[in-house]
Structure 1
């Protein structure tokens, strides 16, 4: 059964997405429910499943393109099915163009085909993914015979060509060539390329004059000099969003950071006492405590629109979580009316799905306050940047075993410093201090949570 695959709408506020990767090439078989392509928004990347089984007949949106939600990105249909109407419906080229292109292809004559005189580029039928792989690997795809529908060149054709024409090179030579930026295709040699072959064509002649003559023969030094320089790396979509939002936050909010040290000994006892029932972390406990305190300090839980404070009678707690390619703020909804166990369970599930790239936009939106914990990295104190449109964020630092004086005696206590960054438009210093004092009361006497 044929269908038009579209850019999905993954959340209420999503208006567009970037198609970052096709898992199938044109002409390849697709099974319903199989991962077909990946979509990146300003907050996450999602794998999108095929709606129907068939052949990926047409790719309408190339990798890297950004389009509005519900815009057609591809067509899945049976191999012999007429998709001309689907092409017109989706705004793609007419199926007649494909027929004409095939009719204009010269018939192969009997005997050996002259591969040294390829036809014009516009007569070569190749899938977008196959073309991308070919260009990346400097492969002249005009010399390759396609095995896809209508003799189209597909991904497996390019990969087979690369494998059959792969340069024979030793592992050491391959690594050295990469380090010295040597193009292995320019080394003309019968047999395996070795380390000495790479060194012969490397840029050792360009060693700066400041290097002493006696060091010229020092190969490790030469290799390090050749590798010195600059490298430009494009930001990922997630990193670009983080950069823009941090810049926006700093320009919008006049902020002050307030630090307060608290005795976490009793909270530690509570945490340890619960381990036989369910595993709870300090972050889980602080989510519960801060959610409780925010109800008493509505300005810390508000947002600002123009000259108006938008006060919320609910707490949606955002928790910053570091992933390999950036930072996400996971949002646990209605924390002020949920128990500790439910908060712990939901937070663990959010973190698990974040690592598996299975989050929805609703998991990342609607936060009213954010907690970010760098204590596990040994940070003493820091000034977190507010997650807009919120007006405050709480930084959690490392726990330190500290000698303190109690009743004239020195005892060891577990102390922690919390750092509150607040928007001074909404939160004055005294208000911020009282908020931290109340958090401190709960941290040092967690039994208050049951009151």
Structure 2
């Protein structure tokens, strides 16, 4: 049965997704329920199954492209079935795709060696798909003539350049070259480039890099534009996760008038309680704070609400979001109904969610529904910071490092393990005095955690 595959809507807040990988190519057979493509959105990569079985007759969205939800991305049909009506239907839902526009442009067969690539503001115009293909194949797109709209370099231009320059490479070698970041053009070989050729080129590149590092060290950080040792700049495109973080944090700052309040507290008893559990199950300071803050939020409902216009939406439950740091960003999985769960259950669930986050296995439900967030930078040695509220919540608690500090107790100087907590609050809902009382109550539980059983 024929069908049009679309960009799925995987959650209530999802508006668009980036198609990062096709598991099938045009002309390949696919079974219903088999993985067809992968989508990156809301900091997650999701595998999307085919709705129907058949042949992948037409790919409408290339890898790396971002499109709105429910926009057609492919057509599946029988091998000899007429799909003209399906293509027309897909076009009417999304307008003409970039690929269709490219195919309608006059085919210009200007030799690459004599043509100048079209530049705008000093930049060469090239589609994301064409740029990706050029990088994977090692083709220098500065030498390629664009035949797309306004002289833009498109996928077929790169494919033509590769063919004209006789870059012959096996699929396995191309994949390995991408993984090892090997320039295929630099491999001089008359015949087809194989895996062993890529491995040899990689070893040569490593030796060259080792010599260069002795002269100047340079580390390119993810999602940043950095200055090189010599002149020029390097552009590193944001990942889907980083784009979502940037968008949400900007929205939060523009929506919420915030104030950050800091308070130090003695963790002597909390440490003693933590150590008392070690023969039963492993518990962390974050686990204990989740339990404590969940209890305090029931006493301070304005810290556990959201704001809609001129109305406070008070929650009679606590869904605790806990920030988990990843290599290229962070996720905030949510532990549901923390206020009615025991410490052991909270510890187990948080450990499982953190593991899923690091393995990219979280689902949309794991990341939604939070009413308050905790973010812990204490293990990184941070003394104090101002965390940004995770909308639509009205407060977030930052956890800082524990410092052995001299304090005066009963007229004597003693050393206490003090920890500072940083509460960022939306002033529309939480005034200074309310925030101070909230932190004072948290402090009572931290310094006398036995109160949790009352």
Q: Judge same fold: TM > 0.5, yes or no.
A: yes
Distance 1:131 1:391 in 2: 42
- What residue in structure 2 maps to residue 166 of structure 1? 187
**CA deviation after TM superposition for structure 1 residue 12, in Å:** 2.9
Residues in 2 aligned to 1:48 and 1:302: alpha-carbon distance in whole angstroms: 35
Shift of 1:444: 1.1
- Mapped to 2, the partners of 1:410 and 1:144 lie a distance apart of 75
After TM superposition, give the deviation of residue 25 of structure 1 in Å.
Answer: 2.3
2:371 aligned to which of 365, 368, 381: 368
Aligned length: 377
- Select 1:439's aligned residue among 437, 442, 452: 442
1:420 correspondence with 2:423: yes
| Superposition deviation, residue 23 in structure 1 | 2.9
1:319/1:372 contact within 8 Å kept: yes
Q: Separation in 2 of the partners of 1:447 and 1:246?
A: 37
Q: Which structure: larger Rg?
A: 1
How far does the alpha carbon of each residue in 1:181-203 deviate from its partner, in whole angstroms, 9 at most, with x for none?
xxxxxxxxxxxxxx9xxx9xxxx
TM-superposed deviation, 1:398? 0.6
Q: CA RMSD in A?
A: 4.0
Taking the TM superposition and a 5 Å limit, the aligned residue runs for 1:222-371 are 227-371=230-374
Counterpart residue number, 2:67: 67
State the alpha-carbon separation in 2 of the partners of residues 354 and 306 from structure 1: 33
Higher relative contact order (CA 8 A, sep 6+): 1
CA contact (8 A) 1:35 1:48 kept: yes
Mapped to 1, the partners of 2:428 and 2:69 lie a distance apart of: 36
Cα distance, 1:251 vs. partner?
2.7
The Cα of 1:441 is off from its aligned counterpart by: 0.7
> Do the aligned residues in 1 keep the contact of 2:306 with 2:394 (CA within 8 Å)?
yes
Contact 2:317 2:337 in 1 (8 A): yes
Q: Aligned equivalents of 2:391 and 2:334: distance in 1?
A: 14
Partner in structure 1 of residue 149 of structure 2: none
In structure 2, the CA distance between the partners of 1:226 and 1:357, relative to structure 1 (3 Å rule), is closer
Residues 302 and 154 of structure 1, relative CA distance in 2, 3 Å threshold? farther
User: Contact (CA 8 Å) 1:25, 1:155: kept in 2 or not?
Assistant: no
Instruction: State the partner residue of 1:185.
Output: none
Q: What is the TM-score normalised by the length of structure 2?
A: 0.71
SS in structure 1 of the partner of residue 245 of structure 2 = helix
The CA deviation at 1:432 is 0.9
2:404 equivalent among 401, 410, 418: 401
Query: Residues of 1 paired with 2:185 and 2:234: CA distance?
Result: 32
1:195-234 pair list within 5 angstroms: 220=215, 227-234=230-237
2:5 aligns with: 5
| Deviation readout 1:373-402 (Å, 9 max, x if unpaired) | 000101111111112222211100011223
C-alpha spacing 1:157/1:354, structure 2 compared with 1 (3 Å): closer
Match of 1:105?
A: none
Compute the displacement of 1:363 (Å). 1.7
Q: Residues 264 and 443 of structure 1 are in contact (CA less than 8 Å); yes or no, is this contact kept in structure 2?
A: yes
Change (3 A) 1:8 1:401: same
Q: Deviations over 1:137-165 (max 9, x none)?
A: 329644889xxxxxxx9994994999799
- Aligned residue for 2:333, secondary structure, equals strand
Distance of 1:76 and 1:90 partners within structure 2: 12
Where do residues 10-21 of structure 1 align in structure 2 (5 Å cutoff)? 10-21=10-21
CA shift for structure 1 position 323: 1.2
Residue of structure 1 equivalent to 2:143: none
> Residues 48-87 of structure 1: matches in 2 within 5 Å?
48-51=48-51, 54-77=54-77, 79=79, 83=83, 86-87=86-87
* CA-to-aligned-CA distance 1:16-58 (integer Å, 9 cap, x gap): 3221222332234545555432112244222223455554332
Mark the runs of 5 or more structure 2 residues left unpaired by the alignment.
96-102, 104-110, 112-127, 141-157, 178-182, 190-199, 219-226
Aligned mates of 1:356, 1:170 — CA distance in 2? 31
Structure 1 residues 156 and 284, CA gap change in structure 2 (3 angstroms):
same
Aligned mates of 1:4, 1:294 — CA distance in 2: 47
Deviations 1:199-253 (A, max 9, x none): 9xxxxxxxxxxxxxxxxxxx948x9996454222222232222223222322332
Separation in 2, partners of 1:230, 1:236: 19
1:339: how far off?
1.7
Which deviates more, 50-59 or 398-407?
50-59
Relative to structure 1, the CA distance from residue 129 to residue 425 in structure 2 (aligned partners, 3 Å threshold; closer, same or farther) is: closer
